[in-house]
Amino acid sequence: MTLTFLGTGTSTGVPVIGCKCRVCTSKDPRDKRLRTSALLDTKCGTRILFDCGPDFRQQSMDKDFRPFDAILLTHEHYDHVGGLDDLRPYSTFGNQQIYANHLCLKHLRERMPYCFGMKTPSGVPQLELHEAFSGQPFQVNELTILPIEVMHGPLPILGYRIGNFAYITDLKTISNESKSMLHGVETLVLNALRHRPHVTHQTIDEAICLSQELGAKQTYLIHFNHDAPLHAEAEELLPSNVHFAYDGLQIEV
C-alpha cells in the first residue's frame, strides 16, 4: 500500500496568515503545510481518504480523478471535515462512503443538512454515512479497518488501523485498551503539534514516547503548527525511526 500525505499542518496551516516567524517564512517546501489529510492506495486499486479538510480541493487537483472506496473521518473539527462539500465531483462515481463515530456523524448532519434527506438535490455531494465503533472492525474491499478511540482533550475521536499500519491524529491521551489494539503496528502515523505542551494535542516528545511504547518500526509525525521546528533541523534531532512527514511525501506501508 502507498500512503500519500496530502497535508501535515494543524488547523491554521503553515505558514500562518500574517506570521513572519522563521518557520512561516522558510523557503523549504517541506515547511509549507496544508491541513492534515492522507490518501491510501492499494495494489488492488482500493482508495481510502483519511479526513477531508478545507484544503481538499487544492490537495486533489494534481491527483488521479478516481473514486474513493471509503473516507475515514477522525473527528468533526473543521480542519478535518471542511472539504466534504468539495466531494461533489466525486459523487459522479456514486455515493461517498463516510465512516466516523456517532458524534462526528451528528455534527455532519447538522452542518450539511442539504446533503441528506429523502430527495437530495443535484449538485451537492452525495454522502452515505456509516457509524464506526472503536474495536469493531469493518471491511472495505480487501481491507479490514479497525477504528480505535483516542482522546483529543475531552473529545473522543477515532484513529484507524489497517493491517500493520495505523493513522492517528489529534490525540492527546490514549487508554490501555486502545493501546492494545495498536501493538504490532509497524508503520505509525501520529500527531505531534510542537515541543511546548498543549491541552488537546501531543507534543513531539510525547508522540515519540508513545511510538516507542507501541514498538512501531517507523513513525511519521503530522499535524504540526508553526511552533514546531524547521523540517531540516527536526530530522537531525529525531530518533532514526521517527520522521517529520511533509506534504506530498509518499511511503510504502
pLDDT in tens, the chain (253 residues): 999 999 999 999 999 999 999 999 999 999 999 999 999 999 999 999 999 999 999 999 999 999 999 999 999 999 999 999 999 999 999 999 999 999 999 999 999 998 887 666 678 899 999 999 999 999 999 999 999 999 999 999 999 999 999 999 999 999 999 999 999 999 999 999 999 999 999 999 999 999 999 999 999 999 999 999 999 999 888 999 999 999 999 999 9
Length of the chain counted residue by residue: 253
Q: Which of 26, 1, 15, 7 is nearest to 226 (CA)?
A: 15
State phi, psi for 159 to the nearest 5 degrees: -105, 175
Phi-psi region of 13 (alpha: psi -120 to 50; beta: other; left: phi over 0): left
pLDDT number for residue 236: 86
> Do residues 224 and 218 touch, judged by C-beta distance below 8 A?
no
**Hey, which residues does 128 pair with through a beta bridge?**
97
pTM of structure: 0.96
pLDDT number for residue 235: 83
pLDDT number for residue 116: 82
Burial 22-42 (b: 16+ CB within 10 A, else e): ebbebeeebbbbbbbbbbbbb
pLDDT number for residue 118: 60
> Grid coordinates standing for 92?
459522479
pLDDT number for residue 174: 98
> Grid coordinates standing for 216?
512501531
pLDDT number for residue 237: 87
pLDDT number for residue 120: 63
In angstroms, the Cα distances linking 127 to 33, 108, 124, 150 are: 27, 10, 9, 25
> Do residues 112 and 83 touch, judged by C-beta distance below 8 A?
no
